[in-house]
A and B are shown apart, each in its own frame.
Chain A
């Protein structure tokens, strides 16, 4: 792998950029690998990368039915934060955040991790209670998260409307300064390049159509549109399609897949300096380096694999954005799209061994998986390599739904009043 640097660019500029090597190779699949990862999104590619770099396992294939990074990795709003309430969640997301910081250097690929701050707004007393509970828990967990008054929130994000006359006035905010955004494509590409350079095969346009198991139940490989590929260990990292792949192995999952839409505006000069999220008015926003306002909100209400959703969902999202930022009604939506998010009953992920020997699953990230990418790949690689979970992902089992040991961040944000 030739190193990227400003000098490399200068060198290539002299010869018309004709000397760049392929960022990743596109090999034909071999008959067998030590490990197969199903799904070349950020999490899957990161898993392969860490299998190679941390565990020395390089005889790995990452199978992708479309093009790498083309699922939720390339469709999300790129928010990164770790200010989760429970120790388990805080553990995995902060593990990821620590890896984000330095990931560009680790991968020699600028993933543009930008810790510009994630601000979560409180609009009523209940919000204040919930967000302060997070602030206090985060502080004692060593995770930065601080409370801001409405005035401080506006100072941090000048276009924010903090008028007391708003339908839901801003009553305060929790700010994680280490939170921010990164460039989603670069994450997939950087991991792909790093994994490929270490011998991992990334095989695109190769859809898994079946999971093969030996008479003793253990995994022996996968059937694909490009033939059978053997492996004694298979890690499923298929996001919205996790239920589909796991069903092929005979494992029914506590998952439902929903459409999640997002949109960007036309690019404008810098106006939103951080990430702003509001659960109560229900939308989130940041501004990309290119100048586009990047906006998202909730899912459609029904299970769907269509990667589309209803206009009324975007409508509600923009209602919320213009409630927080009334100056934006003359801005224009440039592009909207949908992804398929797999949601567990407690809205926390599953990163675990499965009842099938040799089969591992990393799924259920719902609407918030991007931020976990490096951490998720890191501990999932550990789980596959050692056949036992890393302490950080040990709580994220499938069995927790049977025992009731849920990690329910959303429930902790509570309901009634």
Chain B
């Protein structure tokens, strides 16, 4: 198709670069530099979408980010489909494929539009008043239908192949908005040498200079000046210029989030470019130059395709060289639409009439319009638009009633005035103030170090804007600590100025029941809906907004909020400021999840911690489990083995010969200093002063509230040095807990704490042959039972590298934990592995470690205890120093309920049927025959098949458990009741002889 609405000689695009694209499967051509919107308009296409509720046909309202109607799906390939893209923002590239949304089977014939017929029923909030009968029908019938009808585009269904990047930046002055105001501010600030960032959401800087044909600066037309000024800024080392970059969120302490659209406008972005880049900028000063957004007129059927904002039509003409129609009507309540009419007329477009709601406005633009022969009507309203898929006429009436006159038109340009974009200012927690004269909210009280300039500050006219912005830019740089520079303010040769307009429904939006005069296009909110909300008692604008959904669509009310507010205020009979303004919430325009997430996807979602021995385990085909950020070897299956077979073999092998276990993930903290023992006394329940250097002790750490926080074996290396181990997941928490007490409660203690988790790899060698495996490799440590008894530690060397060798056991067998510098971890493991193979030992993982410890009744903090278990509950009273007068938790654990009778206590549980393995988490009851809800007296914390015991074993927390030894209790499962006996916690080698076996 040829671009029939492209006007020769108009616009700034270079005709040479043609881009082919498709919309709803039909091929079109545009020009490079077009947006999808301008390219479609050039082809005479206005109908691009369907509305949310009534499925009304919709065209382009705007030429920018405020667009409520023209949302399309852009599809690069199957995996790169993006729903809800504004056609007015999407830049055209050769091969672009776009599809309309929310219609079936086609845009022109949409079955969903039957809801338009039912529309009298679908008034504001109708869904709160019906769909309640019968009860089950909401879930089964109504809601699914509503859900299917709602929603705009379709979510992608494949993982996104694109990537997103992120940058942090600091600057003295961040200028948001690259129109005349932003550029002037940036120029002034940049001259001081301060670090400046200038960002604008458009591909090209200039803002409203894109359409303001009357603006002349420094002897050039406004837009050309903007390009040369930005080129000058870009060339400066202290300035970063970011086009296609939207500041979406203004957070505390001048922290601003921006998204740069890096490659969505490119035909072949390639693999290297990110799709988007998140900028997180901390600025000393922020200059807000975010402009203003034109409002539409609220009148009957003001949503017909072809009806658009006047400045949008002007942009399409002056920037893109596209006429939005051949015979346009203009409906306005302020001057700025005249300029559009004049520009279009000059380009050879017929202007049917300007309909001006004002009674007797005067001014040069009005004179000029008349001089061009345009019919100008004052004090009249457009009360109705004709046409369905495209506007075909406008009906005009004196605003106070009278004869109607219908004129054929193929487009209506409208302007009710301009709304300052105070979104970011408001997000900065600044308070807006209502200017009653100009009927607009402008920045009032500032909460952060920022300043608003130009249209967003309610400043009218180019001359005043550049004056204000240039001064503000210089001041911002100065306030940020830069030396003032002598620069030259850009000279404005010809001004364009906007004037005030009107808010709310125009005459003709009427109280008439059948009229649809849209306030919020996308959400299909009409003036009538807002009045109805007020009649129903909604007096706060927040209630009106939520009840009608006005301003809650993807454009977030950029064109609708002020109209909605004014209609509500009028209906309430209250001044606008008393009804309030809804809060502006980030983001300013929708931001992709991808840009927020950046690189934190897949493996980079969270760091993965691997031990030094991990590569060895991987080579052995180990299965891994996630424990916190760690990957731990879970079990080492041999060919044909499942987890049960592997674990049975590993457990038996450990007790028969020996096993090697990678314990490197255990947290390790070195507590050093003259007061180290005193500190340990305060942080652990156990006594430490008398522990001999070279000996170890099992320690319990409580929180101040008396519940178990962590545990681990602690070795005293010297009088002033403890090697503390913690649980794998608990290490950072425990370190923080210790530092907290050391720094703030016990600062008088001379102690240093060092996390040494990563410093030492830990190889546990457990089993009767463990000493035989280790001994040949050790130098300088007497390995005899006398010299190195159970629960002792020695420093020496193994395989020629330093070691802290612990004699300790978490399996109940003779055992050692060999600490070696992590760099040598894998090598020492390999050496131990080679030795172990002489004895038929195995490698075992966390699952077998759990079984082996459970056979011995050793607890795992976090599994057998949760945050509600005291040392006494866990049967660990023996580890609490009875003579101690202070330790963290000493008072908490003495509270009435923590010493009360009947608390849950940790006990052993044996199923009557030894083959039945209880499920961890299963609940224990005394009477299995009781009705639901049952009285639960405990639960299973650990449960395994023990090949060594030849039966299942379990631990559990049971109310009064230690007084129930031998009692029969029950676990009611969905498929039957499991009978069990309460026992002691040790299932294997009760006398503990194997520790030295």
Interface residues of A (CB under 8 A from B): 4-6, 8-10, 12-18, 20-26, 66-70, 74, 87, 101-102, 104-105, 108-110, 112-116, 123-126, 128-137, 139-142, 159, 166-168, 183, 185-186, 189-190, 204, 265-271, 281, 287, 289-291, 306, 308, 310-311, 314-315, 318-323, 326-337, 400, 402-406, 408, 410-417
- B105 at interface by CB-CB < 8 Å: no
24 contacts between A and B (CB under 8 A): A14-B120, A15-B513, A17-B513, A23-B537, A26-B537, A101-B135, A105-B133, A108-B132, A112-B143, A136-B939, A140-B932, A142-B932, A204-B540, A266-B590, A306-B252, A308-B429, A323-B605, A326-B159, A327-B157, A332-B591, A333-B591, A403-B896, A411-B867, A411-B868
Contact, CB under 8 Å: A13 / B153: no
Q: Are A132 and B919 in contact (CB under 8 A)?
A: yes
State which residues 138-157 of B face A: CB under 8 Å. Answer: 138-139, 143, 146-148, 150-157
B386 CB to closest chain A CB, in angstroms? Answer: 22
Please tell me if the beta carbons of A67 and B540 are within 8 angstroms of each other in the complex: yes
Known: A74-B546, A140-B936, A319-B605. A330 touches B594 (CB 8 A): yes
**Judging by beta carbons under 8 Å apart, are A110 and B128 in contact?**
yes
Number of A-B contacts (CB under 8 A): 364
B600 contacts which of A319, A335, A336 (Cβ < 8 Å)?
A319
B170 contacts chain A at the CB level, 8 A cutoff:
no
CA distance A185 to B597 in the complex (A): 30
Cβ of B878 within 8 Å of any chain A Cβ, yes or no, is no
Q: How far is the CA of A406 from the CA of B128 in the complex (A)?
A: 39
Given A9-B121, A114-B143, A329-B592: 10 more A-B contacts, CB < 8 Å: A16-B511, A18-B532, A110-B130, A129-B863, A133-B922, A140-B936, A311-B249, A320-B605, A321-B593, A331-B83
Given A322-B593, A331-B592, answer yes or no on A270-B606 (Cβ-Cβ < 8 Å).
no
Query: Which residues of the other chain, A, contact B52 by a CB distance below 8 angstroms?
Result: 267
The answer on a CB contact under 8 Å between B535 and A22 is yes
User: In the bound complex, do residue A414 and residue B862 qualify as a contact, i.e. CB atoms below 8 Å apart?
Assistant: yes
B-chain residues with CB within 8 Å of residue A335 when the two chains form the complex: 552, 556, 585-587
Smallest CB–CB gap between B710 and chain A, Å? 6
0 or 1 for each of B700-717: is its CB under 8 Å from A? (1 = yes): 000001110110000000
- List 5 A-B pairs, minimum CB-CB distance, nearest first: A411-B867, A16-B513, A291-B151, A133-B921, A22-B537
Encoded as 1 (CB less than 8 Å from any A CB) or 0, chain B from 252 to 264 comes to 1001010000000
- Minimum CB–CB distance for B470 against chain A, Å: 31
B462 to chain A, nearest CB (A): 34
Among A128, A268, A417, contact of B860 (Cβ-Cβ < 8 Å): A417
A-contacting residues, B723-756, CB 8 Å? 726-730, 733
Determine if B131 is an interface residue (Cβ-Cβ < 8 Å). yes
Of A114, A133, A140, A269, which one neighbours B139 at CB under 8 angstroms? A114
Least CB distance, B244 to chain A, in whole angstroms: 16
Q: What is the bound-complex CA distance between A13 and B514, given in angstroms? A: 10
A333 to B84, CA, bound (A): 12
Are B123 and A9 interface neighbours, CB within 8 A? yes
B535, B590, B896: the one contacting A404 at CB < 8 Å is B896
A403 adjacent to B139 (CB under 8 Å) = no
Task: Return the contact of B152 from the options A267, A270, A411, A415 (Cβ within 8 A).
Answer: A267
Task: Tell me, in angstroms, the Cα distance from A137 to B251 when the chains sit together.
Answer: 43
Q: Are B138 and A141 in contact (CB under 8 A)?
A: no
B554 adjacent to A266 (CB under 8 Å): yes
A136 B923 Cβ-Cβ under 8 A: yes
> Any chain A CB within 8 A of the CB of B648?
no
B710 and A315 within 8 A (CB) = no
Query: Which B residues from 468 to 522 make CB contacts under 8 A with A?
Result: 511-514
B interface: dominant SS:
loop
**Neighbouring B residues of A412 by C-beta, 8 Å:** 866-868
Separation of A283 and B429 alpha carbons in the complex (Å): 27
| B residues in contact with A408, CB < 8 Å | 867-868
In chain B, what residue has the closest Cβ to A13?
A: B120
Note all chain B residues with C-beta closer than 8 A to A87.
933, 936
Report which residue of B583, B592, B892, B921 has the largest number of chain A beta carbons within 10 angstroms of its beta carbon: B921
Stretch from B346-354, B376-384, B624-632, B806-814 that touches the partner:
B624-632
In the complex, the answer to whether B593 meets A265 with C-beta atoms within 8 Å is: yes
With A13-B121, A130-B921: A414-B867 Cβ-Cβ less than 8 Å = yes
A403's contact among B120, B549, B895, by CB below 8 Å, is which? B895
Across the interface, which residues of A come within 8 angstroms of B131, CB to CB? Answer: 6, 110
Asked if residues A134 and B921 are in contact (CB atoms below 8 Å), the reply is yes
Query: Which of A20, A166, A327, A415 is the one whose CB lies under 8 Å from B535?
Result: A20
- List the A side residues contacting B249 at CB < 8 Å: 311, 336
Asked whether, in the complex, the Cβ of B727 is within 8 Å of the Cβ of A268, the reply is: no
A175 to chain B, nearest CB (A): 15
Knowing A167-B602, A415-B730, say if A112 contacts B921 (CB, 8 Å).
no
